[in-house]
């Protein structure tokens, strides 16, 4: 059970008067839940407006219309537009960002001008987004990363692929959840997919990257600008057809901790701490790897990750508390994970009408009953904990099958 803390115990320096936080991102439920456990008034700005988020948020703004907070005169607003609406109509002492907001640097800066954003500044967000600059730093630290080139035109992409060697991965300039990533094993596949990949990012640039076969992994890290501590090393679930993944590189959740050789897990933890310290990151950050014969650094996500439910449960901590503490320069002491946890993201395998999913105790991120979720869109998540990894994972997939059984 999440512990509650007084404002005096939690806050450092100039956030002693912090009472109301706005959480902005694609999925805000776990962060809002942790903020509420600390006694904050929580304003949620997210894409889905799920029923379990609506049940705990004090105010909810959602791209998917919500009965709790209807928006007048706006049709399918962006997260940024919703965030501005929230700031204009509600008292916001500080802002916490999650996935989906770290790429639009101009808008993040605009939010910073209206309220304090507790997390990495725009300069560090920009650095993490620039893969070539990031990989230069990574290489100087002795961390392995895949061959990568930035390209703007089809001809450049073809020449880069020849230099790197097929197969290669085409990646948009920025993104998340595996959206826009495409595997190319020949020049013809680059020709077919290049415009699509370009359009999935900023429409101007893309990356051609060596395709590394291995286990998708990540590290959940807390850092204070000079020191970093790896909390967990995680297995990423990517492109799982059992979970209706709409794309080969689609993000479908995590299993924590990663099942791999001890030396490989230790190396991922060491690399992630070293890199976050070198970059001067603060707060909660994620570092992604592919584990082949050694760990290959793929990217850094300088914000809360989707592993928050699992990490908090396994370590017995409140990550919002620890995020704020580390942004203020203080890191705590953290135990090793006790047991195992899995979070599975279920995608619609066809257009589905949502039944009452609140009957399932291990299902979270639940859409409102009788709403329609289009094929390829996320339906909900399954969250499981257990003492035996194999049994826990099997239980999680059985729970997912039960949910899908409602749509047959």
203/229 same-domain check: no
289/333 same-domain check: yes
- Give the residue among 44, 57, 29 at the shortest CA–CA distance from 85: 44
Helix runs in 79-152, H state only: 79-89, 105-112, 122-129, 131-140
In-domain check, residue 84: yes
Alpha carbon distance 96, 27 (integer Å) = 12
77/170 same-domain check: no
154/91 same-domain check: no
**Residue 356: band (very low, low, confident or very high) from pLDDT cuts 50, 70, 90:** very high
Alpha carbon distance 170, 245 (integer Å) = 19
pLDDT at 101: 79
141-164 average pLDDT score: 96
115-141 average pLDDT score: 94
In-domain check, residue 127: no
85/201 same-domain check: no
313/380 same-domain check: yes
CATH code of the domain containing 191: 3.30.1490.20
- Neighbour tally for 299: CB within 10 Å: 19
In-domain check, residue 46: yes
69/159 same-domain check: no
In-domain check, residue 66: yes
In-domain check, residue 133: no
Alpha carbon distance 207, 169 (integer Å) = 8
The predicted model scores a pTM of 0.90
Q: Which of 99, 118, 137 is the last residue of a domain?
A: 118
DSSP 278-327: HHT-EEEEEEEEEESSSEEEEEEE-S--TTHHHHHHHHT--HHHHHHHHH
In-domain check, residue 132: no
Pairing of strands 59-62, 41-46: parallel
Q: Is the pLDDT of residue 321 over 60?
A: yes
User: With contact defined as beta carbons under 8 Å apart, do 205 and 233 qualify?
Assistant: no
Q: Is the pLDDT of residue 8 over 90?
A: no
Hey, is 260 helix, strand or coil?
coil
- Name the domain count of the chain: 3
Q: Which of 118, 139, 163 is the last residue of a domain?
A: 118
pLDDT at 75: 60
Alpha carbon distance 189, 38 (integer Å) = 51
User: With contact defined as beta carbons under 8 Å apart, do 111 and 95 qualify?
Assistant: yes
Alpha carbon distance 253, 287 (integer Å) = 15
81/96 same-domain check: yes
Beta bridge partners of 94: 21, 116
189/246 same-domain check: no
CATH code of the domain containing 82: 3.40.50.20
Count CA atoms within 13 Å of residue 361 on its CB side. 3
Q: What is the mean pLDDT of the chain?
A: 90
Q: Is the pLDDT of residue 15 over 80?
A: no
Q: Is the pLDDT of residue 367 over 80?
A: yes
Q: Which residues contact 75 (CB under 8 A, 6 or more apart)?
A: none
User: Which element (helix H / strand E) includes 184?
Assistant: strand 182-184
60/160 same-domain check: no
User: With contact defined as beta carbons under 8 Å apart, do 382 and 400 qualify?
Assistant: yes
Domain of residue 171: give its range.
147-210
194/225 same-domain check: no
CATH code of the domain containing 316: 3.30.470.20
Least confident interval from 70-74, 107-111, 180-184, 225-229: 70-74
In-domain check, residue 390: yes
Q: Which of 182, 210, 238 is the last residue of a domain?
A: 210
DSSP 337-362: P-SEEEEEEEE-SS-EE----TT-TT
In-domain check, residue 77: yes
177/237 same-domain check: no
Reported residue count of the chain is 408
């Amino acid at each position: 059970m999440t512990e509650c803390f007084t404002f005096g115990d939690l806050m450092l320096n100039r956030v002693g008067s912090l009472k109301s936080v706005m959480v902005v991102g694609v999925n805000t439920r776990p962060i809002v839940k942790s903020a509420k456990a600390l006694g904050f008034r929580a304003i949620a700005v997210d894409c889905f407006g799920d029923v379990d988020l609506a049940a705990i948020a004090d105010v909810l703004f959602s791209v998917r219309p919500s009965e709790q907070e209807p928006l007048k005169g706006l049709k399918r607003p962006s997260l940024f537009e919703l965030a501005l609406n929230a700031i204009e109509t509600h008292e916001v002492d500080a802002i916490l960002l999650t996935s989906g907001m770290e790429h639009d640097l101009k808008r993040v800066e605009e939010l910073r001008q209206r309220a304090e954003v507790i997390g990495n500044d725009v300069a560090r967000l920009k650095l993490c987004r620039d893969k070539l600059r990031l990989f230069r730093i990574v290489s100087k630290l002795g961390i392995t990363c895949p061959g990568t080139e930035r390209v703007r035109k089809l001809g450049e992409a073809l020449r880069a692929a020849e230099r790197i060697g097929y197969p290669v991965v085409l990646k948009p300039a920025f993104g998340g959840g595996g959206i826009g990533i495409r595997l190319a094993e020949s020049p013809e596949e680059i020709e077919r997919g290049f415009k699509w990949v370009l359009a999935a990012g900023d429409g101007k640039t893309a990356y051609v990257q060596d395709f590394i076969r291995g286990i998708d992994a990540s590290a959940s890290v807390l850092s204070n600008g000079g020191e970093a501590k790896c909390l967990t090393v995680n297995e990423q679930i990517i492109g799982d057809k059992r979970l209706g993944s709409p794309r080969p590189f689609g993000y479908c959740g995590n299993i924590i901790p990663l099942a791999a050789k001890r030396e490989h897990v230790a190396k991922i933890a060491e690399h992630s701490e070293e890199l976050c310290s070198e970059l001067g990151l603060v707060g909660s950050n994620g570092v992604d790897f592919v584990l082949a014969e050694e760990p290959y650094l793929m990217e850094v996500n300088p914000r809360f990750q989707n592993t928050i439910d699992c990490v908090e449960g396994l370590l017995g901590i409140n990550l919002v508390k620890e995020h704020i503490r580390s942004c203020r320069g203080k890191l705590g002491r953290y135990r090793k994970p006790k047991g195992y946890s899995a979070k599975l993201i279920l995608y619609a395998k066809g257009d589905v009408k949502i039944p009452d999913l609140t009957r399932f105790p291990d299902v979270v991120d639940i859409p409102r009953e009788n709403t329609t979720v289009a094929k390829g869109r996320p339906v909900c998540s399954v969250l499981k904990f257990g003492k035996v990894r194999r049994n826990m994972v099997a239980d999680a997939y059985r729970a997912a099958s039960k949910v899908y059984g409602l749509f047959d």
